[in-house]
Structure 1
Amino acid sequence: MSSLSASESVPTPVPTPVPSGKPLTVKVENLSVTYRTTFERVPTFKNAITRLGRGQRAVREIEALKDVSFDVPDGTALGIIGNNGAGKSTLMRALAGILPPNKGRIEVHGRISPLLSLGVGFNANLSGRENIILGGLASGLSRAQVEARAEDVTTFAGLEEFIDAPMRTYSSGMYSRLAFSVAVHMDPDILMIDEALSAGDATFKTKAAGKMAELRENARAFFLVSHSLASIQQLCNDAIWLHKGELMMRGTPQEVCAAYTKFVQVGDSAVILEDL
């Protein structure tokens, strides 16, 4: 796979069309998110002598998202693509309310179930069953509603024999399968998934893809961040492409994926479609 270089010509951002005729589930207006990070500067020999070798702390600002705007009407399954560092995960975290924007506004109409990093929020000292309860309550369901779903969550994850064991005893695959299962069984209005298709073995991936296709039909909106362009084309009916924090293009998954693969100068082989 060819990597992007500083000399490559970056296409001009394409204004996104404003969908009409359906109520909006999500509205993003002029969204910007900037990270402030600090790093230790290595002192020069002269400064090291005068300051006894103590380094200096410097602040660097990283513009993760730059003036991004788009609308998402009911029934949209939106794929989000782009190279590493494009701002995809930052966008998802902002939509989920985890990251506050530095500029702009986000409107979300509905209950969100974000699957942004598998297992975040789980307590490894608690059992799988107890974490199902915690995950459901965090999604806004009542305890009775969560308990009614607990067996389905367990069966889907294939963890019937281990569900009452502490999660610190789980393998990474078991941990990921349970996290995915919790997220997709909470009947969300809006489902946000960031690279969750990588959870589990081939059998579970097939099951997960089927479940997400079902959710796509029933949820008011569905967001999928993935490096698998095949998954974006199979599961989504709309797509956006981010590059260095900017919205470059919006269109059908086929159109956006084709423009993206052309930009990074690769073909559309099966290998590339699975992991770009």
Structure 2
Amino acid sequence: MSPEILRMVREVPSLAMAQLVPLQRGLLALTDEDDVRAFLMGVQLCLPGQPPILLAQVSGSKGLWSRPFSVSLGWSDAWLELYGSQTFHEVDPVFNGPVGEPIIWSELLLRRRSTDGRKMTSFRLACKRHGMTHGLSYIAERGENRVIVSVVGEAAEYDYYARQLLTMLLPSLADMAVRVLTRNARMANFTPRERQIFDCLTTQGLTQVEIADHLGLGLSTVKVHLKNMREAHGARTLAHLVHLLRTEDAA
């Protein structure tokens, strides 16, 4: 038995384990933003009190607060607007926390330090006013794309069931989400027709001749679209293009 499974059996309560197994399986079915949103709603329903959850994709330098895609389930719009307008990401120790390990909010947000500047002090006070001092986050990163999954509330830190479930689930969720969203960001450069052709090729397994017939296009038109798609992504062949856009190792 693997060390990971042994740790799950020893540390995760039976109720959390019963919830964890189907959730982990469900991660494998995530293919787009709608799937990510639906999955997060399922996670929220499994947690005590259905706490607010936020998944944010950050592209480019981690010093930029850019959310081309996010799922907010119960987070305060006022808080998100304040956070963005005050550029709190610059001092937020959670946002700038370590990649690849659970981040406990209260350990970072409730400890005043002599090095705190005016902006950090303002951020801590804002967190207290908006009830954002306790929670659990996990950050996954691939290249310049980062996904941050955060669950708000004391239960995420202190409820044994919730803490163990989230500790085991959030790494897989963040890793899967960053792969899905990074891949979809690359595919966003396709025209609507190119996305149709790519879907026929990869999801339906159609040949180029069958794609042309299915979409009512000439075979030469399909070939031109595929050639443009390959060149746009630096792919040598169709198989290479699919590899770039569908595998975990896509750049």
TM-score between both structures, scaled by the size of structure 1: 0.24
Structure showing the higher strand proportion among its residues? 1
Larger relative contact order (Cα-Cα within 8 Å, sequence gap ≥ 6): 1
> Which has more helix, going by share of residues?
2
